[in-house]
Amino acid sequence: MNVPAPERVSIDIKMQRLNIEWADDHVSTFPLDALRQACPCAECKGKSIERITKPNFLHIFRQKNRWTDVEVETAGSVGLRITWDDGHNGGIYRWDRLRELQPPEK
């Protein structure tokens, strides 16, 4: 899959979202709880998740967890490493996988 480069990655703890702005002007907005469930490490088995829908305002109240101390860093040119409140940071969220989880709307 040929994925456009990410131009900006930001995290909004108040709204419980991770935002990625791509070079093709698409914006991916992931609810943190859904992204945690989609962790790609061998232990979490997040590969079974096929899609993460964009959050609406009420998603904050429907989340199982409230994430307060989340750190996001790039993992070379491959993707993102996220360190969660629970200390977990075993998975690298590859750019192509993130784009697959939330493709542009057609």
- What is the pTM for the complete model shown? 0.87
11 Rama sector, left if φ>0, alpha if ψ -120 to 50, beta otherwise = beta
pLDDT of residue 73: 95
pLDDT of residue 24: 94
Per-residue pLDDT of the chain (106 residues; tens, 9 = 90+): 688 999 999 999 988 999 999 999 999 999 999 999 999 988 887 778 899 988 876 666 667 778 899 999 999 999 999 999 999 998 899 999 999 998 777 6
pLDDT of residue 56: 75
Contact 70, 89 (CB under 8 A): no
